[in-house]
Structure 1
Amino acid sequence: MAGKAQTAWDGLNERQRAYLHVLYDHDQAAEQQRAADWTSGRSMDDRTPAAEWRWIDVVTPGTKLTSVQRDLAKRDVRDPGVGSTLAALTRAGLIEHEEVPRGRSRAVRAKMTRTGRAAVRAAIKAAPGRRTGELADWSWEILVRLWEADGALVRAGGAAAERALLDRRPPLAVQHGYPYYVISEAGREHYRQGWARYQQLHPAVVAPDPDPGADPWPGTGQRALAGLRQAVDAAVADRRAAFERQLQAEADTAKAQQRPDSGREPSGEWERLVADQARQVLDLAAAHARARAEMAARHYAEAEARIGPAIGAYVHGALAAYTLSVDNTLFDGAVAEAIQRAAAAAGPEWTLPPRPVPCGLHDVDSDLGAAWDTAAGARTRRRPLPKQMTEPRRRMVGRGRYRTPVPADPEPPPLDTRLQRAWALARAVAGEVSDGVLRRSLHPPVRESR
C-alpha cells in the first residue's frame, strides 16, 4: 500500500495535492470528533457507518463558503476547476466524489479512500498506524492521566474508555465506582514498555518519561515561548486601549471647544463679569482637554512602538525553538536559555531570521516555508481572500424586516504589513513546536527491550 500511495502522490500536481491535503485534514478531524463522542458517551446510539459520516461537503449552493473552500483559499487555491480536480483525484483512486441535491441546486461532496489517506500520510511522513493491542490517542491520554495521578482516582467516563481500560487481560486500570479509575500494575507496566512507541505514535499527547533522563522539551522552554507570545498580546492590547483613550480625549477636546452663543452682548457690569468668568472656565476646560489629548496621543505612539520589538523577539525565539527541535542537541534548561537568548538578541531594529531549515515533514516544511516567504515579501497571493473571509460580520438586532446592524466599535489602524506577516510566521512556527510535538515526531525516543 505504501508504494502505491507514494506513487499516486508523486503523480499529482500542486493543486491536486492541496485538495487532497485539505480533504485529509477534514477526514481526520471528523474521525477524531467521532472518537471523542464515543469516549464521552454522546453517540452511543449512533450506528452510522463510516462510509456515510466520512463524506465532506466541498461546494454547497449559495454564497456561504464551506470549510474546505476556506482552507483552500488560505493555500491560494481558488481558481475554477473544482470538478476537474476532484475527477482527477477520483480517477487516481484517492477519493470518491458525487453531486447531491440541495434544494433547487446541487452540492458537491467528497470522501477519502484508504489509498488517499495513505498517500497523504506518506507525503507528510506520518507515524505508522496502530498495531494490535496499542491504544488510540484518546485512550493513551487517559492512561497518561492515570500514571500522573499515581494511585489517585481519575474521572474518565464513557463506554469506550471502559472498554479500552478494562477489556484487556490483565486490565490497565481498576474501576472504583463508575466513572472513576485507578491505574493497575499492568497499566504501569504497559506505560513503561510502550512509552517510546506511543511518543512516536501520538506525539501530540504530552506524556512524562517513566525513566526520566535529559528532558528534550522542559516546561521552562514552553513557558519561555508562551511568554514571548503573551508579550505581543499585551502590547497589542495596550495599543488598543491607548487608541480608545485617544478617541475619547479627542471627542472631549472637540466638545470643550464649543462655546454657547446667547445671541446678545452682555449688558451691564455684572453680566460682563459673569461672562468673563464663564469664558475663563471654558478656556481652562479646553486647555485641560487638549493636554489630555496630547498625552493620549503620546501614550498611543509609545504603545505602538512596543509592538515591533515584541514581535521581533517572538519570531526569533520561535524560530530558535524550531531549529533546536530539528537539531535535537539541547536539553533541559538549555532549551529555555536558547529561546530567551535568541529573543533578546533580536533587538529593537530586528530583521527577519534566516529561512527555517527543512525538517523532512512535508506539511511542516510547506506551511512554514510559505509563511517565511510571505514574511520576507518573496511570496504574494495571486488573488485576495474571498470577501466572506475578510469582511467582518455585522451584529444585528431585531427580527424580520426590523433587523438593523449594530455599529461596530472603532478599530485602531492595522499594523504595518511587515509586522503582521512576521507575527503570522511566529504563530505558525510556535504552533508546530509547541509542547515538543515536532521534536518528538522527528526524534522519537528509543527504549531498549527488557
Structure 2
Amino acid sequence: MSKHLHLWEKLNERQQATLTAIYRTDQSVEAAQKEGWRLGSIREKASVWRNLQYYFEPTSYETLLHKLLSLAGVVDQGLGSTLALLERHKLIECNYYDGELISIKLTTTGRAVARAGLGELAPKKPPKGQLKPRQWEALCTAYQAGELGLESGLTFGDYAGFSWQWTWLRLRDYQGSGLVKEVGYWNKDGKHSTKLVITQAGIEFYRQQWSQYRTLYPDVNAPKPD
C-alpha cells in the first residue's frame, strides 16, 4: 500500500468526502486554466489560481468549492474541525479573514492522497520537446502564412493573437533550432517594423510531425503539408 493511500484510509468518511470535494474543485479549476491557455489567455501563477475561493455572501454567486462541499453534506458546524484536521495532515492550506474562511488550497500531498483514494492516476508529463496545443496551433498559423509571415498585433510581439512570452518565444528557441524567427523590414510608410516567419527548420518539423500532432490535437486547424 502506498503512503498516500495509507493516509487516505486513516481519514474517516466525512474527511474523505471533504478532501474529495476540494480535489474536484481543484481539478475543475486546472482544466479551465488549461483551456484558457489554449485559447490564448495570460497565464497566472498556480499559487494564485489553485487558491480556491470559498467565501460568498448568501445573495451572491456561489463558488464551486462551496457548492461541492455542500453537495458532499459537510457544510455545517463541524466543517471547521474537519478542515483543521486535513490542514494538520498538510493536505490543504486554509486562508481566513476575521474568522471567516476565505479560501482553501490543496497541497501537492493532498492531491496525491485524493488521487490514491479515488483510484485516479496523475496525468503523465508529455515527452520532452512536445509542443503544447497552443504552440502547435501557432506553428500551424505560421506555416500557413509562409514567406509572407505574420504581422505583429496590438500587443507587441503577439503575432496573430498568440502570446510572445508563452508561445512564440518557445518556438523561436525550440531545442536550439528555431521553428520561427522575427524579420525586420521597412513598411510602405517608411517605418521599420517586424513580422514573424516560419524557418526552414519549422517547415521540416511541421512536415515530419504533422501526423503525430494531428492525432494529439485534432481540434487544431492543421492543413496537410505539401
After TM superposition, the score normalised by the length of structure 2 is 0.60
1:91 aligns with 2:88: yes
Contact residue 94 and residue 114 of structure 1 kept, 8 A: yes
Match of residue 9 from structure 1: 8
**Amino acid of the structure 2 residue aligned with 1:117:** R
Q: Secondary structure at the match of 2:53?
A: strand
Q: Secondary structure at the match of 2:144?
A: coil
74 and 107 in structure 1: CA distance in 2 versus 1, 3 angstrom threshold: closer
**Amino acid of the structure 2 residue aligned with 1:56:** L
150 and 97 in structure 1: CA distance in 2 versus 1, 3 angstrom threshold: closer
Deviation at residue 57 of structure 1 after TM alignment: 2.2
After TM superposition, the score normalised by the length of structure 1 is 0.34
125 and 49 in structure 1: CA distance in 2 versus 1, 3 angstrom threshold: closer
**Amino acid of the structure 2 residue aligned with 1:152:** Q
Contact residue 29 and residue 50 of structure 2 kept, 8 A: yes
Query: Match for 2:167 among 141, 146, 161?
Result: 161
Contact residue 165 and residue 173 of structure 1 kept, 8 A: yes
Query: Match for 2:70 among 54, 70, 73?
Result: 73
Distance 2:134 2:206 in 1: 13
Deviation at residue 97 of structure 1 after TM alignment: 1.4
Q: Secondary structure at the match of 2:174?
A: coil
Distance 1:11 1:66 in 2: 29
Q: Secondary structure at the match of 1:99?
A: strand
Deviation at residue 168 of structure 1 after TM alignment: 0.9
Match of residue 186 from structure 1: 205
Distance 2:143 2:38 in 1: 26
Match of residue 191 from structure 2: none
Contact residue 91 and residue 106 of structure 2 kept, 8 A: yes
1:58 aligns with 2:54: yes
Distance 1:19 1:54 in 2: 17
Q: Secondary structure at the match of 1:184?
A: helix
Cα RMSD of the aligned pairs, angstroms, is 4.2
Match of residue 101 from structure 2: 107
1:171 aligns with 2:165: no
Paired residue total: 190
**Amino acid of the structure 2 residue aligned with 1:20:** L
> Greater strand percent: which structure?
2
Distance 2:204 2:45 in 1: 36
Q: Please show how residues 166-245 of structure 1 align to structure 2 within 5 Å.
A: 166-169=172-175, 170-173=177-180, 184-190=203-209, 199=216, 205-206=217-218
1:20 aligns with 2:12: no
**Amino acid of the structure 1 residue aligned with 2:169:** R
Q: Secondary structure at the match of 2:2?
A: helix
Deviation at residue 179 of structure 1 after TM alignment: 6.7
> Greater helix percent: which structure?
1
Q: Secondary structure at the match of 1:26?
A: helix
**Amino acid of the structure 2 residue aligned with 1:140:** P
66 and 34 in structure 1: CA distance in 2 versus 1, 3 angstrom threshold: closer
127 and 33 in structure 1: CA distance in 2 versus 1, 3 angstrom threshold: closer
Q: Please show how residues 25-424 of structure 1 align to structure 2 within 5 Å.
A: 25-31=24-30, 36=36, 40=40, 42=42, 50-60=46-56, 62=58, 64=60, 65-101=62-98, 106-122=100-116, 123-130=119-126, 132-135=128-131, 139-143=132-136, 146=139, 151-153=143-145, 155-159=160-164, 160-169=166-175, 170-173=177-180, 184-190=203-209, 199=216, 205-206=217-218
1:323-349 deviation per Cα after TM superposition (whole angstroms, max 9, x unaligned): xxxxxxxxxxxxxxxxxxxxxxxxxxx
Distance 1:157 1:110 in 2: 32
1:285-340 deviation per Cα after TM superposition (whole angstroms, max 9, x unaligned): xxxxxxxxxxxxxxxxxxxxxxxxxxxxxxxxxxxxxxxxxxxxxxxxxxxxxxxx
Distance 1:5 1:173 in 2: 44
144 and 98 in structure 1: CA distance in 2 versus 1, 3 angstrom threshold: closer
The unaligned stretches of length 5 or more in structure 2 are 151-159, 184-193
**Amino acid of the structure 2 residue aligned with 1:97:** C
Contact residue 7 and residue 113 of structure 2 kept, 8 A: yes
Distance 1:8 1:165 in 2: 42
Q: Secondary structure at the match of 2:123?
A: coil
106 and 73 in structure 1: CA distance in 2 versus 1, 3 angstrom threshold: closer
Contact residue 58 and residue 68 of structure 1 kept, 8 A: yes
Distance 1:180 1:32 in 2: 32
Distance 2:210 2:17 in 1: 38
1:246-265 deviation per Cα after TM superposition (whole angstroms, max 9, x unaligned): xxxxxxxxxxxxxxxxxxxx
**Amino acid of the structure 2 residue aligned with 1:83:** G
Match of residue 190 from structure 2: none
Match of residue 346 from structure 1: none
Distance 1:142 1:184 in 2: 14
Deviation at residue 18 of structure 1 after TM alignment: 3.4
